[in-house]
Structure 1
């Protein structure tokens, strides 16, 4: 099948080269020298609001200093102790680089400065620039987020350390609602280990210490269609309650155009069917996000934090399709008549919300107990109406699909942390979550149900429960270690009129991380990890309710579930070297290797559905897979290397991936949709005191093929995206930012092929992408 794909002119794969400097821009925080009394006051305020990992990182740093002092000779100790006692900066805010270096498990922190830098309108646009992260789909339209090239549930997405509510969209989340993004390449016992590729944690705004109200008003334009956006963040204090009120509203319009070409070749008879299709879509969407946060400190030092989250989005679209087919005959397997023209109207309204309550109590012995409770609700209403016409105007089909889904969840958990001596912290905790879904879907084709139980109610429940223990220890000035163990169980139950489905999984995940600080090498260090993780089947993969394809074919099948799926189990090893430059720069290289058992792949078959034959795609466990890779990252100000250099910041990353699925013949039997490599390179010009700054970023993923099975192959074309921005500082509190994304506006190309019973099906798709300009006014008062 690979040769069939290569025969398509539109997919000739010319070798593509790219040369770039691995570089990185860093956030520069001013360090202020203060008196001992002022530092104590600052430290006391910091303890009231600082995040748990920041506190732990500072304590570790103090312990390491004391260990180094203990091994130094007395004259050196006196020379060091005197200034440290008189002028302390331990209460100063740690940079993202400091937090990354002090984390034993390894975290990449993306703070507010980097989130604002390129003027992005969605979190999805930011993620594509992060080390080892790729975003599927065409440029500007978003897609599933993948670490190490692995999507489809291998990458765990969290919001404030918890699973986001159903209906949550990374593409519609404004960066102004985000405090920071944390990337964890390896799992930790504190969070779910459903993270074979890694975890991305989105931490929402929590600016209690900010003094200014932050307002950002932007206007985007794509193909002449305007996209206004307004976001506001206001911190304050009312009595003993500190609060941060954040919200945003948006509206946008988009138009898409794509072409597809399908060839069906019967090898025995030579019978050939050629089909060309043109799709045009016009879409309008709007939404609102609210993310307030409140915190209250009791007289005994306990904290109570409350954070609601609300997201609502609405969309409406019109879709037109024209098709030409030769010969104009019904499909040989499904009996469907080809249409000449089709029109569709779609509407969707999605609302999701979650309330999180967090209580922290400190004991006299510096132990801490954290209790949390969460509750979420979500509703999605969607409807689609589509008509298909013959060339003479005859109505062939009138298809309607009306769906309502209601979701609710309740969760509780706790974590107890206590020191075991001066250089060791032990933590243990639990999590319990219960989710419910009630869904009603009516799908009709000319008034006849498209599947047997159309219109029946589906009730599903998911129960998750977990217990964990983890231990962090500073063994010496050079060695730090982390050991964790997490047990996690998931029970899924669903029922409809004609069937009941139950699915259970139980996973025990041991985790070990270690850091070795190289003596005499400045701040250089080596990281090592041995991890266990897993991927549980999603509810949609388990429940056998079909998703109907309007143009059913082997390359556009219906999708259904499989109640007998088992979780995928992953075991991995990571080895990394990190070189920290004098101020804020870093150069790192990371190697990883993973083995995945009970791999889930989707398989396409021709099945009898009612009185019709339909091509149906279902998930199955197929065996083992192996994945490995190298990840390079570098970012630094140019003045780190040359003192007289201009005020340029470089940032870049490059990742190379390999994978192999056992039981599928090569040469491209990799994990589904995993590219062979990806790269980013960026530059920022930020002279101190200048009124103007500018920068840009280039994102590149080469074309690649995937052998999905012995009879099915997919192809994804090259993806190149160039973004740029210019920032003007009008006053000390007012900025104007012009951002341009997807300046190259390359077409998105993909294809897939299938061979069944000596019949070859090849379909190629070509979709246009568009440049987007965004002008944003940023004000504080």
Structure 2
């Protein structure tokens, strides 16, 4: 557990954010989206049951909660898995605008972006592939069936986010396919208290302007929030200037979001959430560089226009004086991308991924004070997914769909108030592959007097082949319908230690193995024989050495090899981060220093006809950012930040450029 500390000092509205100048350029106008948002604002409600308002605003002694580890709210002292929590207030302290940048501070995670803001952003947990990480937003699974079953973090803004939980290690026993590496659960804000209107706007380097606006309200009977965010930049060249590229590649993003809930009785409530993002990204293309003897990007007049629509509605019923909780939900997602040549203007390919989910969960809570002085939670869940991928291009087209039904059972027990045990099992009935059964067990033991928690977990995971790997084809690729699901297993053991009431340290050793890994071979995909192995150490530290100073740090050492003994690409062995926040002038002002370090790593490059690939080394880099703010009064705050102060010239993916030094300033209003 990586404990994150947030001070209770007065602060400007968390999540306050305002419209970009001429934000109408970004905001989508689909009637269905606008009507859905208006309906939510009117009170038709949103928020998944696990989206309780759990912002941490205290010290290390508060009973922090995880909503991801066990499907029900669980004190972190009872969680045997490795969990990291990032709060929305921390995102605003650091002035982080994209979730992918926030995830760089999480132990065990490697983040790679294929160029500047707006380009493909991949997250790998403990050496697993990016499509072996399952991602949820407000209880909605957002992995894209038409994009390799992974979630592209490039377009996820932080304005509405209240909390991010990262659960590391195989989690298929609870979450099914795609969770070999772990789970990232993102929870947005909910309306609370009197009507609050907030706005933010900022501008800065590389022709960047962004902002957002929100309105919220909440009572014991209902809660509602709606917001709009926009981001636009002229950017830099996606293809590195080091390779002679000079064309600036822009990016724009418009997001609307609404959610709310209504409590009909003490035992019954309903909720819903809707989120829509429209984006446009300039692209460069891969070519062969004779000078280097392999491929790399080059300037091109191309772009991609994308849309993401995420929605969920659910009802919750409590019976037997709250001892029996039942939740039924429906979710629908649609993500599409349109790739274009701009000179002459021509649509070259489209990809559309849809997912429909129906789910039911039953939780039974009971205590046995005279037997082991224990509390128990028994969970049963059933969920059915229909995944569909549609692809059309100048050279091919396909439309395929797969249905999966999962059955989940879990027991969670707390014995003698210091020992916590969980066991979970899942059976997936798949229309295409052999049925899969996965399981997971965890244990946590707390020594309250010394502030020590010992924890351990073991789990198995499965990753089904993607629809494109099975059936897709291009002029250089043919799918392989004989692919088998990838399988993983992993265990970890760790120690969480409170440090004299002013800090906390956590250390985790992990070991993970993946078999039947799917990889490209010639013009198709195959299951790689043998086992890929990853092990390493994760360290987290947080402290309040002074009443107005917060320090957080993390370090990860990960050693990964594929079945051939080759080092895994885009997984640095050494990753570290440091964040220091200082409050002064009676907490009206603050300064935040952020440092991210990524060690050397390898990447793939190809020969001239893409028939062979080989690895190339990427240099280590250190990014230093500085953010500051000053609250003039309860309604007005000024803020500014400097990014990449050292003007580090680095690459996260070979040949793709990254921004140098930049400065930004903005204003935040709250009413």
TM value normalised by structure 2: 0.81
Q: Is the 8 A contact 2:590 2:628 kept in 1?
A: yes
Query: How far off its partner does 1:249 sit?
Result: 1.9
The 3 A distance-change label for structure 1 pair 158 and 560 is farther
- In the alignment, does 2:437 pair up with 1:530? no
Q: Provide the rounded CA distance (Å) in 1 between the counterparts of 2:216 and 2:240.
A: 49
> Per-residue CA shift, 1:538-578, capped at 9, x if unaligned?
223223312x6xxxxxxxxx555433221211111110100
In the other structure, the counterpart of 1:229 is 210
2:414 to 452, 474, 497: 474
Q: Is the 8 A contact 1:99 1:109 kept in 2?
A: no
Query: How far off its partner does 1:217 sit?
Result: 1.4
In the other structure, the counterpart of 1:202 is 186
- In the alignment, does 2:105 pair up with 1:177? no
Q: Provide the rounded CA distance (Å) in 2 between the counterparts of 1:320 and 1:50.
A: 42
The 3 A distance-change label for structure 1 pair 420 and 319 is closer
In the other structure, the counterpart of 2:246 is 280
Q: Is the 8 A contact 2:197 2:670 kept in 1?
A: yes
Query: How far off its partner does 1:474 sit?
Result: 0.9
The 3 A distance-change label for structure 1 pair 477 and 590 is same
Q: Is the 8 A contact 2:115 2:658 kept in 1?
A: no
In the other structure, the counterpart of 1:249 is 230
Please list, as runs of the form range in 1=range in 2, the aligned pairs for 1:407-422 lying within 5 A after superposition.
407-422=353-368
- In the alignment, does 2:565 pair up with 1:586? no
Q: Is the 8 A contact 1:281 1:319 kept in 2?
A: no
The 3 A distance-change label for structure 1 pair 51 and 373 is closer
- In the alignment, does 2:543 pair up with 1:636? yes
- Worse overlay, 671-680 or 375-384: 375-384
Please list, as runs of the form range in 1=range in 2, the aligned pairs for 1:287-686 lying within 5 A after superposition.
287-316=253-282, 344-365=300-321, 366-384=323-341, 402-422=348-368, 423-442=375-394, 454=395, 456-491=396-431, 503-518=432-447, 520-521=449-450, 523-546=451-474, 561-581=479-499, 583=501, 585-603=503-521, 605=522, 616=523, 618-639=525-546, 647-662=548-563, 664=564, 666=565, 669-686=566-583
Query: How far off its partner does 1:720 sit?
Result: 1.9
Q: Is the 8 A contact 1:193 1:532 kept in 2?
A: no
Q: Provide the rounded CA distance (Å) in 2 between the counterparts of 1:622 and 1:532.
A: 19
In the other structure, the counterpart of 1:75 is none
Query: How far off its partner does 1:488 sit?
Result: 2.1
Q: Provide the rounded CA distance (Å) in 2 between the counterparts of 1:257 and 1:139.
A: 5
Q: Is the 8 A contact 1:177 1:247 kept in 2?
A: no
Q: Is the 8 A contact 1:278 1:322 kept in 2?
A: no
Q: Provide the rounded CA distance (Å) in 1 between the counterparts of 2:472 and 2:588.
A: 59
The 3 A distance-change label for structure 1 pair 481 and 315 is same
In the other structure, the counterpart of 1:80 is none
1:215 to 199, 209, 221: 199
The 3 A distance-change label for structure 1 pair 675 and 731 is same
Query: How far off its partner does 1:379 sit?
Result: 3.4
Q: Is the 8 A contact 1:28 1:584 kept in 2?
A: no
For structure 2, which runs of at least 5 residues remain unmatched after alignment?
Answer: 11-45, 67-73, 369-374, 607-611
1:717 to 619, 639, 646: 619
Q: Provide the rounded CA distance (Å) in 2 between the counterparts of 1:237 and 1:731.
A: 24
> Per-residue CA shift, 1:678-733, capped at 9, x if unaligned?
11112121237143211211111111347999983332221321111011111123
Query: How far off its partner does 1:160 sit?
Result: 2.1
In the other structure, the counterpart of 1:68 is none
Q: Is the 8 A contact 2:89 2:162 kept in 1?
A: no
TM value normalised by structure 1: 0.70
Q: Secondary structure at the match of 2:77?
A: helix
The 3 A distance-change label for structure 1 pair 701 and 560 is farther
Query: How far off its partner does 1:115 sit?
Result: 1.6
In the other structure, the counterpart of 1:126 is 102
Q: Is the 8 A contact 2:51 2:138 kept in 1?
A: no
Q: Provide the rounded CA distance (Å) in 2 between the counterparts of 1:279 and 1:109.
A: 40
Aligned residues: 605
Which of structures 1 and 2 has the larger relative contact order (alpha carbons within 8 angstroms, sep 6+)?
2
Q: Is the 8 A contact 1:24 1:649 kept in 2?
A: no
Query: How far off its partner does 1:589 sit?
Result: 0.2
Query: How far off its partner does 1:102 sit?
Result: 4.1
> Per-residue CA shift, 1:423-456, capped at 9, x if unaligned?
10101011111123333211xxxxxxxxxxx2x5
- In the alignment, does 2:640 pair up with 1:734? no
Q: Is the 8 A contact 2:589 2:631 kept in 1?
A: yes
Q: Secondary structure at the match of 1:153?
A: helix
In the other structure, the counterpart of 1:78 is none
Query: How far off its partner does 1:403 sit?
Result: 1.6
> Per-residue CA shift, 1:380-434, capped at 9, x if unaligned?
32212679xxxxxxxxxxx976123344332100100112434101010111111
- In the alignment, does 2:127 pair up with 1:161? no
Query: How far off its partner does 1:159 sit?
Result: 1.6
Q: Provide the rounded CA distance (Å) in 1 between the counterparts of 2:616 and 2:125.
A: 20
Q: Is the 8 A contact 1:320 1:344 kept in 2?
A: no
Q: Provide the rounded CA distance (Å) in 1 between the counterparts of 2:95 and 2:574.
A: 26
In the other structure, the counterpart of 2:69 is none
Q: Let me know the Cα RMSD of the aligned residues.
A: 3.8
- In the alignment, does 2:10 pair up with 1:28? no
Q: Is the 8 A contact 1:139 1:742 kept in 2?
A: no
Query: How far off its partner does 1:138 sit?
Result: 6.0
In the other structure, the counterpart of 1:19 is none
Q: Secondary structure at the match of 2:337?
A: strand
> Per-residue CA shift, 1:96-151, capped at 9, x if unaligned?
69943343445322112112111112111111122222211367446211222433
The 3 A distance-change label for structure 1 pair 467 and 221 is same
Q: Is the 8 A contact 1:96 1:109 kept in 2?
A: no
The 3 A distance-change label for structure 1 pair 692 and 23 is farther
The 3 A distance-change label for structure 1 pair 519 and 376 is closer
Q: Provide the rounded CA distance (Å) in 2 between the counterparts of 1:617 and 1:769.
A: 35
Q: Provide the rounded CA distance (Å) in 1 between the counterparts of 2:513 and 2:260.
A: 43
Query: How far off its partner does 1:593 sit?
Result: 0.8
Q: Provide the rounded CA distance (Å) in 1 between the counterparts of 2:441 and 2:54.
A: 18
> Per-residue CA shift, 1:604-645, capped at 9, x if unaligned?
x3xxxxxxxxxx464543321221110010011113xxxxxx
The 3 A distance-change label for structure 1 pair 325 and 576 is closer
For structure 1, which runs of at least 5 residues remain unmatched after alignment?
Answer: 1-21, 32-47, 59-88, 262-276, 332-337, 388-398, 443-453, 492-502, 549-557, 606-615, 640-645, 752-763
Q: Is the 8 A contact 2:173 2:459 kept in 1?
A: no
Q: Secondary structure at the match of 2:551?
A: strand
Q: Provide the rounded CA distance (Å) in 2 between the counterparts of 1:601 and 1:190.
A: 26
Q: Is the 8 A contact 1:304 1:360 kept in 2?
A: yes
Q: Secondary structure at the match of 1:117?
A: helix
Q: Secondary structure at the match of 1:175?
A: coil
> Per-residue CA shift, 1:444-477, capped at 9, x if unaligned?
xxxxxxxxxx2x5411112122110111101222
Q: Secondary structure at the match of 1:176?
A: coil
